[in-house]
Amino acid sequence: MKQLAKAQKYQIYMLLVFVMATWGLNVIATKIIVTAFMPETITALRVFTAGISVFIILGFLKKVRLPSKKEFRYIFFACFFNVVCHHFFLSLGLLKTSATNGGLILGLGPLLTTIIAFFLLGTRITLIRLLGIMMGFMGVTFIVIFGSGGVSTVSSGDIYVFLAIFAQAFSFSIIKKCSDTLDPRLMTGYMLVIGSAILFIISCFTEPNGLKEISHGSVSVWMIFFASAIIATALGHMIYNNSIGKVGVAESAIFINFNPFFALIGAVIFLDEQITASQIFGFIFILVGVLFGSGAFEEFLSQSKQKKNRLYLNKVKDLH
């Protein structure tokens, strides 16, 4: 049973890497979408599409049920921070900040999440995990600073992106608290649908002509829209929130360090940009940071120690 649990944990880690790949590429997709349409209106529609997709998937799995009053309170607060605040500020921030600054600020996610989890959930942070978080952040710094020639002047977009990642980091602790009674995947569906409704109401005031602009989109942009909504937002948030419920807030958050790397890969594939030596060096730091910060390295050391102890005990038994 213990071995099965370990296998499941490694499976979750692989799924988290997949989610980070979709989220990294989604930075490019979101930038294209919010440039082609009114940002707040299209964000509300994208999040709503993602929410409906989640409920369709969970419907086939027979996981849909009404939440209790207590669960609904958690859903509403998590929705406010994870969907409304995060997507609202992110859509505005990506229009007004540089890719360098945006990538660096998004890289603060694991640090903010772990710090918040420490204060709200009492999550234990070992020296090795703290070292992993620091190395992951250093890797992000190498990629977004030295790979682009320096950080430009702080703009309103920088502040918006910081508020977006802070709101998301805060919401992860709320999701963890509710995951004991409510399936995090179902919680994701409710959060996305309710959040999209709130975002749409906001967009009606800030972008009165937002719906009229939707008809002007090209086929390629709409393909990017649905890929972003269904794969990155719906499946991505389902898997990530489910991982929070199983392996914890801090362990899941450390994988967010992969985001800038996959964003760079997307830029190379879709925008013909070149990967520099500093970016490769930064990725090595991120990889080591994930191994240390997720607890995978500690678990490897623990397994090695247990294996040595078993071999020693077997030798002692053979002697007797």
The per-residue pLDDT for range 43-98, each reduced to its tens digit, is 999 999 999 999 999 999 898 999 999 899 999 999 999 889 998 898 888 777 76
User: Which sign does the torsion angle of CA 162, 163, 166, 168 carry?
Assistant: negative
Average pLDDT, stretch 25-35?
84
Task: Kindly tell me if the per-residue pLDDT of 317 is higher than 60.
Answer: yes
Task: Kindly tell me if the per-residue pLDDT of 151 is higher than 60.
Answer: no
Q: Within 13 Å, how many C-alpha atoms sit on residue 214's CB side?
A: 14
- Token look-up 């925008």 returns 271
Task: Kindly tell me if the per-residue pLDDT of 13 is higher than 70.
Answer: yes
Please give the pLDDT value at position 228: 93
| 29-43, 233-247, 296-310: least confidently modelled range | 296-310
Q: By C-alpha distance, which of 18, 17, 27 is closest to 228? A: 27
Q: What are the CA-CA distances from residue 200 to residues 78, 81, 84, 271 (Å)?
A: 18, 16, 10, 31
Q: 1: pLDDT confidence band, cut at 50, 70 and 90?
A: very low
- What does the alpha-carbon distance between residue 259 and residue 240 come to, in Å, rounded to a whole number? 13
| 12-16, 46-50, 65-69, 267-271: least confidently modelled range | 267-271
Q: 3: pLDDT confidence band, cut at 50, 70 and 90?
A: very low
Please give the pLDDT value at position 76: 92
- What does the alpha-carbon distance between residue 217 and residue 232 come to, in Å, rounded to a whole number? 20
Please give the pLDDT value at position 201: 94
Residue 269 identity (one-letter amino acid)? I
- What does the alpha-carbon distance between residue 192 and residue 196 come to, in Å, rounded to a whole number? 6
Task: Kindly tell me if the per-residue pLDDT of 145 is higher than 70.
Answer: no
Which percentage of the chain shows pLDDT scores above 70?
A: 82
Q: Encode pLDDT of 170-220 as tens digits.
A: 888 788 777 778 888 899 899 999 999 999 999 999 898 888 878 777 899
Please give the pLDDT value at position 4: 44
Which residues, other chains included, contact 254 with Cβ-Cβ below 8 Å and sequence gap of 6+? 110, 114, 129, 132, 133, 136, 289, 290, 293, 294
Task: Kindly tell me if the per-residue pLDDT of 12 is higher than 50.
Answer: yes
Q: 148: pLDDT confidence band, cut at 50, 70 and 90?
A: low
Please give the pLDDT value at position 2: 45
Q: Are 279 and 142 in contact (CB under 8 A)?
A: yes
Please give the pLDDT value at position 154: 52
**Residue 211's Cα: distance from chain center in Å?**
28
Task: Kindly tell me if the per-residue pLDDT of 149 is higher than 60.
Answer: no
Domain extent for 211: 2-319
Please give the pLDDT value at position 209: 85
- Domain count for the chain: 1
Q: Are 11 and 203 in contact (CB under 8 A)?
A: no
Average pLDDT, stretch 264-281?
72
- What does the alpha-carbon distance between residue 148 and residue 213 come to, in Å, rounded to a whole number? 34
DSSP count for the chain of H helices, then E strands:
16, 0
| 4-8, 21-25, 108-112, 249-253: least confidently modelled range | 4-8
Q: Under DSSP, is residue 126 helix (H, G, I), strand (E, B) or coil?
A: coil
- What does the alpha-carbon distance between residue 191 and residue 178 come to, in Å, rounded to a whole number? 12
Mean pLDDT, the chain, whole residue set? 80
